């Protein structure tokens, strides 16, 4: 039981850290308000597009 409990605690801590990390990235910087969640999605799509283009150039 001891080792399993230890593993369970460790993975739960990692999940919590990941969650905190996610919360930080979602939080707007400074006073800048992100009113439209779609903006975040558009930004992510743009990021993905850029990465795809870079891969194509290398490929």
Structure confidence at residue 28 as a pLDDT band (50, 70, 90):
low
Mean pLDDT (the chain) is 76
Question: pTM of whole model > 0.75?
Answer: no
Query: How far apart are alpha carbons 18 and 25 in whole angstroms?
Result: 11
Q: What is the pLDDT of residue 12?
A: 79
Is there a contact between 12 and 6 (Cβ–Cβ < 8 Å)?
no
pLDDT tens, residue by residue, 44-56? 999 999 999 999 9
Domain ranges of the chain: 2-28+35-58
Q: Which of 29, 28, 46 is nearest to 37 (CA)?
A: 28
């Amino acid at each position: 039981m001891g080792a399993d409990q230890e593993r369970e605690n460790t993975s739960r801590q990692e999940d919590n850290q990941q969650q905190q990390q996610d919360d930080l990235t979602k939080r707007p910087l400074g006073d800048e308000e992100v009113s439209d969640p779609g903006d975040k999605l558009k930004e992510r799509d743009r990021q993905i597009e850029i990465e795809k283009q870079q891969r194509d150039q290398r490929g």
